[in-house]
Amino acid sequence: MMDRDERRKYKRLGATFDISYREVGSATDRAHTGCTVNVGTGGLYFETQEATFKTGCLLEVELSIPPKRGLLEFGGRISGFAKVLRTDIISDADAGLNFDKHGVALQFCRSPKLCI
């Protein structure tokens, strides 16, 4: 059986960044937040408390990149548009939490931009 990572066109890096997102065309401008699990040039996977996703919907996303000495001294942001490929319910019963998190797989529509 093939592993999911082997089917991807672009490699993913396990990386934890804060992410904010909003659905394009939504009646509300309210941004939601989450945390990435992995990121690649073709897309990303993140976890959130929100459950308002439909496969195929378009999200405007922005990742906050913390400062890194010798690499990105002042931090930055990566922003772009991405399509929802799938959503997962992640139960946290073992942690004693009374709510589920949602995992969201996104595919970038075009290469995201880095703003420093």
Q: What's the pLDDT at 1?
A: 38
CA–CA separation, 85 and 80 (whole Å): 16
pLDDT in tens, 28-68: 878 999 999 999 889 999 999 987 778 999 999 999 988 88
Handedness of CA 62, 35, 47, 40 (dihedral sign): positive
Mind listing the domains of the chain with CATH numbers?
Answer: 4-115 (2.40.10.220)
Residue 86 has pLDDT above 50, yes or no: yes
